[in-house]
Amino acid sequence: MRRQIFAAACALAAMAAGSALAAPGVEVDPLTRQPLVQRPGAVGADGRPLATAIPREVVYFSGKYAPGTIVISTAERRLYYVLPDGQAIKYGVGVGRPGFEWGGVKHISQKREWPDWTPPAQMLKRRPDLPRHMKGGENNPLGARAMYLGTSLYRIHGSNEPETIGQAVSSGCIRMTNEDVIDLYSRVRVGTKVVVMR
């Protein structure tokens, strides 16, 4: 009887903890205790299936970067969020198309939820058909979240075109599915180091 009461108390505590605990079979981030992988069939707040072009996963990571660092391999078209103990969360990303590749070290200078988009002058010169400004929302090319990289024109952001993830199609920004960018956004802070490797 005591064992049953204890089990029931543990179950209630788990329910109270909410999103801090994952369902059985779902891996948990050792830093934040948040679920790492959405279960098949997961849906968004609007009831539509969440798009996952390339499922994120926890992998072994041998790079010598501190936990919490973002490492982007543009050749591999993957983003790694470094965890303790030689591991990282690997996400699929879209990267700059030929002529728009870049590399270097940046830091996240701003974070925005459902950001507005104002195409820079360089982009408008190439694409005068683009709007001069677009409010944040589902149709906005920056998607659900954006993390701005220093004073550069580049961002890590969501996308309303999940089919482009894993491809080289952007003007230099790093694209993620909205599901993945929301997950990464919840883990990083302003000041996070971002290493982009070509």
10 is catalytic: no
Angle made by CA atoms 89, 95, 97, in degrees to the nearest 5: 165
Name which of 177, 6, 185 is nearest 112 in CA terms. Answer: 185
Among residues 10, 107, 133, 173, the one annotated as catalytic is 173
Q: Which two structure tokens, joined as six digits, stand for 121?
A: 């002058």
Known catalytic membership, residue 157? yes
Q: Where is 4: in which H helix or E strand? A: helix 2-17
Neighbours of 99 (CB within 10 A): 7
Identity of the amino acid at 130: L
- Residue 54's contacts (CB-CB under 8 Å, 6 or more residues apart) are 91, 92, 165, 166
C-alpha torsion 49→134→174→125, nearest 10: 140
As a whole number of angstroms, the distance between CA 42 and CA 37 comes to 10
| Backbone φ, ψ for residue 122 (5° rounding) | -60, -40
**Enzyme catalytic residues:** 157, 173
